[in-house]
Amino acid sequence: MARRWVIAGGGTGGHVTPALALGEALVHRGDEVLFIGSSRGLESRLVPAAGFELEMLSSEQFMGRDWLGRLRSVLSILGSVFHALRIMRFFKADAVISVGGYAAMPSALAAWLSRRPLFLVEPNAIPGRVNQMTSRLARMVFVGFEATRPALPKGVRSRCVGVPLRRALYEAFAKDQKSGLPSTPLRIFVFGGSQGARQLNENVPDALARLAKNSIEVFHQTGEADREAVDLRYAELGIKAEVVAFENDMPTRYRWADLAICRAGALTVAELTLAGVPALMVPYPFAADNHQQANASALEAAGAARCLPAQPLDLTALAQGVAEFVTSPGRLVLMRESAIRLARPNAADEIIDECVAILDGGQSHPIENREGASCNES
């Protein structure tokens, strides 16, 4: 029997990409999907581009230094709750999946008020504030890391499934994974998300200059603002590097790379594990609840990455980290194998299977808490 699903939330790519993966999995089964999002998030552009219908809420974050600002935020959220209720009633939604982000709070409250089954998806190692606050309303919370489960409120049912990625994406990432020893010279992929990361742009070239120039080859995605300056800096330092503002073919770039130097967003973590690329991670220090540090620590605990503090970023430590892999390439092989063991290419289907089982009255199967980052069931 076909069902009608609302997928709510978004904001960053780390939330929108899992939402799209779930939408594709549901449509593949013959179900109908409607997205609820906000004009403030990436979903306003990415969801329609993927061919899905999107309804927009004007929700605001609960913020404001004075009582008037907070009152304005509360009234905006309440208005969005009633808007979400109307959307769900008109669409005749059977269930709601919330992925966190700007539109998630009013949508989750609307699901609860209308007694529609609510499921949450949390891709980060530290649960976002909206998912924390609405988790008690959910039938099940699906998390990307084992470390997330103890951080949820007591009594909340959870299952670790990994971070959902779109089918075409994970098939491309898993294709022709590297095997054997790393390349000579060592191929390093530096990136900071779609917009780049100024801290990496300003510091990585000078750190890599401390290595023998013929020992490394660099591909650096900078974002538009820093491309020319970074390109010039590599040239001044005599380092062989290709510098681009954006990289549209990430699967091919991951297959090229022996090592990544990058931030630690949930989407980046999922891509690295599927592609089997070890990483030196420099978590963005101002991410909400410092969740990037937790994401990186989870990968480090599993042996798939090394984590370097961002404040201050120690150029000597960064250079030494890369030099260690140049002189002992076998360590990268072990890290690559650890990364691949963490991958969960079927996360979207696992989530939908579990949701359907719960809706049909079947038993859910929360996984027992275990040590480590992986939520593989083997």
Percentage of the chain lying above the pLDDT 90 cut: 67
Q: Are residues 223 and 130 in the same domain?
A: no
At 43-102, the pLDDT tens digits run 999 999 999 999 999 856 655 557 777 787 788 889 999 999 999 999 999 999 999 988
> How many CB atoms are located within 10 Å of the residue 175 CB?
11
Task: Judge whether 289 lies within some domain.
Answer: yes
Q: Are residues 202 and 113 in the same domain?
A: no
Among 12, 74, 18, residue whose Cα is nearest residue 38? 12
Query: What's the mean pLDDT when you consider all of the chain?
Result: 89
Structure tokens at 258: 């022996």
| Sheet containing 158-160, strands listed edge to edge, beginning at the edge strand earlier in sequence | 54-57, 32-38, 4-8, 95-98, 118-122, 140-143, 158-160
Task: Judge whether 375 lies within some domain.
Answer: no
Angle between helices 67-91 and 104-113 (to 10 degrees): 60
pLDDT score of 372 more than 60: no
Q: Are residues 208 and 322 in the same domain?
A: yes
At 313-344, the pLDDT tens digits run 899 999 999 999 999 999 999 999 999 988 88
Q: Are residues 146 and 222 in the same domain?
A: no
Task: Judge whether 143 lies within some domain.
Answer: yes
Percentage of the chain lying above the pLDDT 70 cut: 92
Tell me, what DSSP letter sits at residue 121? Answer: E
Task: Judge whether 117 lies within some domain.
Answer: yes
Q: Are residues 141 and 279 in the same domain?
A: no
Task: Judge whether 371 lies within some domain.
Answer: no
Top pLDDT among 175 and 311 is at 311
Q: Are residues 280 and 232 in the same domain?
A: yes
Q: Are residues 124 and 211 in the same domain?
A: no
Q: Are residues 319 and 234 in the same domain?
A: yes
| Sheet containing 241-244, strands listed edge to edge, beginning at the edge strand earlier in sequence | 241-244, 216-221, 186-191, 259-262, 279-281, 305-307
We report the CATH number of the domain holding residue 316 as 3.40.50.2000
Q: Are residues 32 and 107 in the same domain?
A: yes
302 vs 276: CA distance, rounded Å: 13
At 101-145, the pLDDT tens digits run 889 999 999 999 999 999 999 999 899 889 999 999 999 999 999
Q: Are residues 156 and 210 in the same domain?
A: no
Q: Are residues 220 and 190 in the same domain?
A: yes
Task: Give this prediction's pTM.
Answer: 0.85
Domain housing 352: 4-165+345-359
pLDDT score of 377 more than 50: no
Task: Judge whether 366 lies within some domain.
Answer: no
Task: Judge whether 151 lies within some domain.
Answer: yes
Task: Judge whether 367 lies within some domain.
Answer: no
Q: Are residues 130 and 177 in the same domain?
A: no
pLDDT score of 376 more than 80: no
Q: What is the pLDDT of residue 152?
A: 95
At 197-222, the pLDDT tens digits run 899 999 999 999 999 989 999 999 99
193 vs 108: CA distance, rounded Å: 28
Number of folded domains that form the chain = 2
pLDDT score of 16 more than 90: yes
